[in-house]
Amino acid sequence: QVHLVESGGDLVKPGGSLRLSCAASGFTFSDYYMSWIRQAPGKGLEWVSYISNSGSTIYYADSLKDRFTVSRDNAKNSVYLQMNSLKDEDTAVYYCARGGGSGRGFFDNWGQGTLVTVSS
């Protein structure tokens, strides 16, 4: 079955950087868009970014596109989120999810999430 495992979450100081990874298994990874969604403590869901199956189409939430970069390696069945210039408000659980693309923009499988804490 579909399995998504995020890693890379950590405690980081404001202004720092972090790279999250998501390893996928149980499906043909190169056939699917992948997305990142985050959830601040006690808050709702916030969509962050999606990347097309080939990596040629990428979209970010407007408030994040200058600091976050999504990428994927289909040979490794993995998607990544590079986060730079981190702020306190970036503190959240970051989920990777399958989906996000045109016509199939819902998220049918989610990882368990990885916690990013931005604090001095």
Binding site for another protein (CB under 8 A): 35, 44-47, 50, 59-62, 95, 100, 103-113
Q: Say if residues 115 and 93 touch (Cβ distance below 8 Å).
A: yes
Q: How far is CA 14 from the centre of its chain?
A: 19
Q: How far is the CB of 19 from another protein (least distance, A)?
A: 21
DSSP H helices, 1-120, are: none
Q: Which is nearer to another protein, 13 or 43 (CB)?
A: 43
Q: How far is the CB of 16 from another protein (least distance, A)?
A: 25
Q: Which is nearer to another protein, 19 or 58 (CB)?
A: 58
**Please, which residues have CB within 8 angstroms of residue 34's CB and are 6 or more apart in sequence?**
22, 24, 50, 51, 72, 79, 96, 97, 98, 99, 100
What distance in Å separates the CA atoms of residue 20 and residue 37, rounded to the nearest whole number?
Answer: 12
Q: How far is the CB of 56 from another protein (least distance, A)?
A: 15
Q: Which is nearer to another protein, 13 or 103 (CB)?
A: 103
Q: How far is the CB of 99 from another protein (least distance, A)?
A: 8
Q: Which is nearer to another protein, 16 or 65 (CB)?
A: 65
Farthest-apart Cα atoms in the chain, separation: 42
